[in-house]
A = this chain, B = another copy of it.
Amino acid sequence: MTPPRSDPDTGKRDVILDAALELFAERGFHGTAVPLVAERAKVGAGTIYRYFESKEHLVNALYRREKQRMTAALADGFPFDQPPREQFHVLFERAIAFMKGNAISVRFLELHHHAAYLDAESRALEEHGNALVEAAFRASIAQLAMRDLPPALLVAIVWGVFDGLLRAWSEGRLELSPAVVAQAEQCCWEAIRR
């Protein structure tokens, strides 16, 4: 029942990913030297190559981990049975909460979105998130709660607003107090509701 082994380095892979996350989010993939990741992870440079075949494999592993964490944070236990407005409220709150607790992850995902060095699997994951939200939106449209517009358009609008909020917040141009978040949610809802 307990982890079968000593465990001291069970986390070494994650320690490396954590270090890479901070640095890639800050300086980009090409702007980050592998030895720097090693130093930040307090690990020998060679060690990284025990866990990842190459620097590209490292970003891809990281991209997947973060994308999945974010998708899980938004989708796990999502109340599909609630009315559309309530579903939207939950989605919005979760997104804001994830953003505030994982600013670096979000910055990383945004910066590496559609990068040339992401492989097929990572790209597939990109689709996946969108598809989930699109499905939910499609249901809301069917229930006549959202405008009858291309779901891709509605998704683009909502993601776009999140992105705008993230940037304004992380650049210090906007404070995300509960009041502002509530207002932002209402604005966003007005944009897409029927």
Residues on A lying within 8 angstroms of B by beta carbon are 26-31, 111, 113-116, 130, 147, 149-150, 152-165, 167-168, 171, 173-174, 180, 183-184, 187-188, 190-192
Contacts and interface: CB of A to CB of B under 8 A. Distances in A.
21 contacts: A26-B116, A27-B30, A27-B116, A147-B183, A147-B187, A149-B180, A149-B183, A149-B187, A150-B174, A150-B180, A155-B168, A157-B165, A159-B167, A160-B163, A160-B164, A160-B165, A160-B167, A161-B161, A187-B191, A188-B191, A190-B190
B173 A152 contact: yes
Given A116-B27, A163-B163, A168 B153 contact: yes
A157 B188 contact: yes
A156 B164 contact: yes
Given A28-B29, A153-B184, 6 more contacts: A27-B30, A114-B171, A156-B174, A160-B165, A161-B161, A163-B163
Please classify the interface of chain A as helix (H, G, I), strand (E, B), loop, or mixed, using the class held by over half of its residues. helix
A173 B130 contact: yes
Given A26-B116, A171-B114, A190-B191, A183 B153 contact: yes
Query: Which of A111, A155, A173, A180 has the most B CB atoms < 10 Å from its CB?
Result: A173
A75 to B, nearest CB: 19
A184 B160 CA distance: 12
Contacts of A157: 161, 164-165, 184, 187-188
Contacts of A191: 161, 187-188, 190-191
